[in-house]
Copies of this chain bind each other. A is one copy, B any other.
Amino acid sequence: MEIIIAKDIMKANDQIAEANLSRLDQAGTYGVNLLGSPGCGKTTLLETMSGYLRGRLNFAVIEGDLATSRDGERVEALGVPTIQINTGGGCHLDATMVATALESLHLETIDLLLIENVGNLVCPAGFRLGERLRVALLSIPEGDDKVAKYPTMFSAVDAIVINKIDLLPYLDFDLDRVRSDLQIVAPQVEMMILSGRTGEGVADFANWLAVKRSEVFGVPHSQ
């Protein structure tokens, strides 16, 4: 009888994540784990951001979903190399899934690998994938109370992106409440504000990612 224990699963995941990171480092590929609730706007941000990244960095996308390849098709339609991972009901991506996806990418030509995790503000926080940077999206319609209510996620990331700022006029959302909760839960986390739909603030976010990458790897493959 095979017995699988949760603690061992986490340890095994961390080891595979380390191997993914080494693989990405060797190739000069900077991995970003994009996290957030269902419908917080991860795919739309990737779509909009692709316009700002094109010509500056070579980038690829891994799309994580329970089911369907709808998100992958949206990104691939923009000419971005895309791998769709279906977890078959699983609530998060893990390092093994990403390792398999890496096999299908020409990493040596890719500067930036954007990994869109399964839409879930809880479980993906616990699973490293081999990324250099973790960014959590929080969209205006989700409410300004989420940082305190989901501290596991917001304390596990490097940055928080407040998305759908175009909807602010129609909703009661207090940005200062998010800032003050963040001061308590995770004061080290950077906060950016944008709208993936209108494009407001997206260039700044894309620039920020490009700078983060250059701090580790210097000039991109394409230059």
Please report which residues of chain A, range 106-163, place their CB below 8 angstroms from some CB of chain B when the two chains form the complex: 118-123, 139, 141-143, 145-146, 148-152
Q: Which residues of B contact A171 (CB under 8 A)?
A: 167
Residues of B within 8 A of A38 (CB): 37, 121, 142-143, 146, 149-150
Counted per complex, copies of this chain come to: 2
Q: Are B91 and A151 within 8 A (Cβ)?
A: no
With an 8 A cutoff between CB atoms, is A77 at the interface?
Answer: no
Query: How distant is A24 from chain B, measured CB to nearest CB, in Å?
Result: 27
Q: Is B121 within 8 A of A151, CB to CB?
A: no
In Å, the complex CA distance between A53 and B47 comes to 44
Q: Does A183 contact B (CB under 8 A)?
A: no
In Å, the complex CA distance between A6 and B3 comes to 10
Known A3-B5, A141-B39: A67·B149 in contact at CB below 8 Å: yes
Complex CA gap A18/B194 in Å reads: 47
- Tell me if A164 is interfacial: C-beta within 8 Å of chain B: yes
Q: When the two chains form their complex, are residues A148 and B118 in contact, meaning their CB atoms are under 8 A apart?
A: no
The reply on A11 being an interface residue by CB < 8 A is: no
Whether, in the assembled complex, A14 has its beta carbon less than 8 Å from a beta carbon of chain B, the answer is no
Chain B residues within an 8 Å CB radius of A170: 167, 170
> Could you tell me the distance between the alpha carbons of A100 and B122 in the complex, rounded to whole angstroms?
23
Residues on A close to B: CB < 8 A? 3-6, 37-39, 65-68, 70-71, 89, 91, 118-123, 139, 141-143, 145-146, 148-152, 164, 167, 170-171
Given A39-B139, A89-B152, A139-B141, 17 further pairs, Cβ under 8 A: A3-B5, A4-B6, A37-B39, A37-B119, A38-B143, A67-B150, A68-B145, A68-B149, A89-B122, A91-B91, A91-B120, A91-B122, A120-B121, A120-B122, A141-B142, A141-B167, A167-B167
